[in-house]
Amino acid sequence: MIDRLVTVGEGLAVFRTDSVDGLRRAPDVTVSTGGAEGNVVMAAARLGLAATWLGRVGADGLGERVVRELRAEGVDVRAIVDPAHPTGLLIKEVTAGGRTDVTYYRALSAGSALSPSDVDRLELTAGTLVHLTGITAALSASARDAVERLLARASEAGCTVSFDVNHRSRLWSTVDAGPTYRTIARCADIVFASVDEVGLLLPGWIGEQATAAEAADALAADGHRHVVVTDGAHGSAARIDDVTTLGTPVPVDVVDTVGAGDAFVAGYLVALSRGDDVETRLRLASQLGAAACVHAGDWEGVAAWSPADVGRDLVTR
């Protein structure tokens, strides 16, 4: 039984402008927060699963905002305030073509200073689901050591471990990232990846035209017992042992896809914690992913989620 979700990652301040001139001439900027792990735990907490986030923030107003917004969404926050490093920043600008461009300012951030001793502050039990993403491992060598330490502690405590590849090419190359992703995935009970990321877990795999189901089957053939593969508007697939189940996407008018994958993961994990069947897990995951897409913020669409907005409700909220 899963009674709590625990994750470790970087909380980011988010500056967002809807001006097609970007920051060059934007009359104002919307300030919010982001970060994949925070997006996941905020969605999980809203759906009733106890959720803990641990990370480093700077001794600055942006760090205070990250902590405040996580706590306001019901998350148990274990923030380490780092006076030597600033809170990381993500800037989102809308281009004339309607595309959202994302720029990171994460070098030497507080999140990048995460260390193995930090994760020793977490209490882990057999009922804990430890969720990790490839982003945390990409931040620095010490952050990768922290991930390794958390995996070791999770194994000792008998935790369930989930891993979302969530590759960020602006943080590191596929050549550098692949071996680390594969190591983490081998330690995970559940692996999440997009169709485009499957090749990072299967060197030499050629699947440019593969469906989510084909990609999930390929991961299963490589020894992963429980995998979930997403393919955007084309849907998703979960492969557990020898059974592949397809997930149907929920159509919405997309405003911004940033955060949709995190919301999808949160929905799946919450439904898993409740003992729901695979079809229900994929449906709730798709609902939350769709909800994230209808808002320009990373997590606000899920915070405002109503089942009527994106389809039939499958859980009691």
Which residues carry out catalysis? Answer: 262
Task: Return d(Cα 22, Cα 29) in angstroms, integer.
Answer: 10
Task: Return d(Cα 173, Cα 142) in angstroms, integer.
Answer: 18
**DSSP strands (E only) in 26-108:** 30-34, 51-58, 76-82, 88-94, 100-105
Of 240, 185, 248, 187, nearest to 217 by C-alpha is: 240
Which amino acid, 137?
A
Which amino acid, 130?
V
Of 287, 7, 277, nearest to 119 by C-alpha is: 7
**Per-residue tokens: 292:** 């994230």
**Per-residue tokens: 81:** 């305030």
Answer yes or no: are the C-beta atoms of 229 and 195 closer than 8 Å.
Answer: yes
The backbone region for 116, taken as left when phi is positive above 0, alpha when psi lies in -120 to 50, beta otherwise, is alpha
Answer yes or no: are the C-beta atoms of 23 and 103 closer than 8 Å.
Answer: no
Locate tokens 């997009």: which residue? 194
